[in-house]
């Protein structure tokens, strides 16, 4: 039995139903059922109060031999019927029955595991006025399934000009054909859960993927989810940069946020202010800034932003040379980067945004040689969409961005 300093306890996610000399245990999170003997059930009742492994052996050795105790504990730990006392069991990703674009689930039972993994974060409380962007991951999966958008097979028969006729999609085809894409599902979030708890779960979920050398592609959710993701990037990489496509600078500040520093959570309008404090984040480049909310933009030494009219005409004025293509690059894409006529489904629409074709041109200029290590797409609000136009354009943006990830 593997030794640990941590005490062990019975999982709090279990419901029990007794049947004669057997007991059924049901995990409400992973939805697995276990048939237990009365002896194993006694051990689980015994561990409702956390105990060290030494205490477990000492207290049970009069009833069971040491080998049986150790084997039983190993089984219970492996099946998450007992866990370390400080383990947050709710940091759990629900697998989906409708993986994006017909790709594989993650984890996969196939020999080749995906290297780029989607995770949905159904969280919108970082936007105080409208939290319905929480529905985007589920709505996108449903939409793609209803439209029979299956890119998991017969790749050679797909004409990728539906995305753009002047972009080479060899990389995207390789990702799809090689089984390099996976969909892990949605992070479990309780409706009344504290925002601070949600952000910590996001951080732990992304950190786990990064430790497995997986590139995370996260679907929000509002833009506040990006901070814990970028925080995980900060721990993974000694030096990295962020490219943000957005109508807003997202470094909003007020006297109240300064007064309550450390007592309140960040939100979708100031998450970047927290990111800029991260030690290993070398620079943030922001594209598409416009609108009344940016009349008094904050300026940070690690921050460069481009007003929307600086990117016209046809994105020829972007200072591409400023970007270091050799260091890890994180991409965060807020759907309000696009013009509301193109993507109406957002709670923060700002007129005069980019059109889809202009976005393709900008990606080609900025991302073609980038070392992308993570991506998020946020602020899509299906409740404000018009004939699913925003869902359609979001799906296209996802595929475009995948094309610039080099493995």
Q: What's the pLDDT tens digit per position in 212-259?
A: 999 999 999 999 999 999 999 999 999 999 999 999 998 876 655 665
**pLDDT above 60 for 377:** yes
**pLDDT above 50 for 5:** yes
**pLDDT above 60 for 354:** yes
Residue 205: its pLDDT value, please?
Answer: 98
* Locus of tokens 């017909």: 102
| φ/ψ of residue 116, rounded to 5 | -125, 120
Domain 8-84: CATH class, spelled out: alpha beta
Confidence of residue 61 (pLDDT cuts 50, 70, 90): confident
Q: Is 216 exposed, middle or buried (0-12, 13-18, 19+ CB in 10 A)?
A: buried
Q: Is 212 exposed, middle or buried (0-12, 13-18, 19+ CB in 10 A)?
A: exposed
Grouping H, G, I as helix, E, B as strand and the rest as coil, residue 300 is coil
Residue 298 token pair: 């904050």
Nearest Cα residue to 120 out of 335, 378, 343: 378
Residue 285: its pLDDT value, please?
Answer: 95
Q: What's the pLDDT tens digit per position in 269-327?
A: 789 999 999 999 999 999 999 999 888 887 889 999 999 988 875 555 666 667 898 99
Domain ranges across the chain: 8-84, 93-402
**pLDDT above 50 for 1:** no
d(CA 401, CA 330): 11
Q: What is the mean pLDDT of the chain?
A: 91
d(CA 95, CA 186): 7
Is the C-alpha dihedral spanning 352, 356, 361, 364 positive or negative?
positive
**pLDDT above 60 for 57:** yes
Domain pair 8-84 / 93-402, same fold:
no
**pLDDT above 70 for 356:** yes
**pLDDT above 70 for 263:** no
d(CA 43, CA 75): 12
Residue 76 token pair: 């219970």
Confidence of residue 260 (pLDDT cuts 50, 70, 90): low
Residue 124 token pair: 């919108």
**pLDDT above 70 for 187:** yes
3-state helix, strand, coil in the chain (%, to 5): 35, 20, 45
* CATH of the structural domain 93-402, one choice from 3.40.50.720, 3.20.20.60, 3.40.30.10, 3.40.800.10: 3.40.800.10
User: Which residues on adjacent β-strands are paired with residue 338?
Assistant: 354
- Overall pTM > 0.75: yes
Residue 261: its pLDDT value, please?
Answer: 67
Q: What's the pLDDT tens digit per position in 99-109?
A: 999 999 999 87
Residue 47 token pair: 């561990």
**pLDDT above 60 for 2:** no
Max avg pLDDT among 55-64, 321-330, 364-373: 364-373
């Amino acid at each position: 039995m593997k030794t640990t300093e941590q005490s062990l306890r019975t999982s709090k996610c279990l419901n029990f139903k007794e049947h004669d000399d057997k007991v059924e245990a049901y995990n409400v999170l992973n939805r697995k059922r276990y048939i237990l003997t009365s002896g194993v059930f006694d051990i689980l009742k015994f561990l409702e109060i956390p105990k060290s492994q030494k205490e477990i052996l000492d207290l049970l050795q009069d009833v069971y031999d040491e080998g049986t105790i150790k084997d039983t504990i190993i089984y219970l730990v492996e099946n998450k019927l007992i866990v370390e006392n400080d383990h947050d069991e709710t940091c759990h990703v629900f697998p989906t029955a409708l993986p994006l674009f017909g790709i594989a689930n993650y984890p996969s039972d196939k020999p080749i595991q995906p290297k780029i993994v989607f995770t949905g974060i159904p969280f919108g409380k970082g936007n105080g006025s409208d939290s319905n962007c929480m529905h985007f991951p589920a709505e996108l999966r449903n939409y793609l399934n209803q439209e029979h958008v299956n890119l998991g097979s017969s790749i050679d028969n797909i004409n990728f000009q539906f995305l753009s006729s002047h972009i080479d999609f060899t990389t995207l085809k390789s990702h799809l054909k090689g089984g390099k894409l996976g969909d892990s599902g949605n992070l479990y979030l309780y409706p009344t859960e504290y925002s601070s708890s949600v952000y910590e779960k996001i951080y732990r979920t992304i950190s786990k993927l990064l430790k497995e050398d997986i590139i995370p592609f996260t679907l929000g959710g509002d833009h506040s989810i990006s901070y814990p993701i970028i925080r995980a990037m900060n721990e993974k990489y000694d030096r990295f940069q962020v490219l943000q496509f957005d109508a807003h600078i997202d470094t909003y500040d007020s006297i109240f946020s300064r007064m309550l520093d450390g007592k309140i959570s960040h939100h979708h309008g100031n998450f970047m202010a927290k990111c800029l404090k991260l030690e290993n984040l070398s620079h943030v480049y922001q594209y598409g800034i416009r609108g009344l909310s940016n009349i008094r933009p904050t300026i940070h030494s690690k921050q460069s932003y481009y007003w929307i009219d600086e990117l016209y005409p046809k994105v020829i004025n972007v200072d591409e040379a400023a970007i270091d293509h050799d260091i890890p690059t994180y991409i965060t894409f807020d759907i309000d980067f696009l013009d509301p006529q193109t993507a109406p489904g957002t709670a923060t629409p700002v007129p005069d945004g980019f059109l889809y074709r202009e976005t393709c041109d900008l990606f080609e200029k900025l991302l073609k040689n980038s070392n992308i290590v993570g991506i998020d797409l946020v602020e899509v609000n299906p409740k404000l969409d018009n004939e699913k136009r925003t869902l359609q354009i979001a799906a296209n943006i996802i595929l475009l961005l995948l094309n610039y990830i080099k493995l």
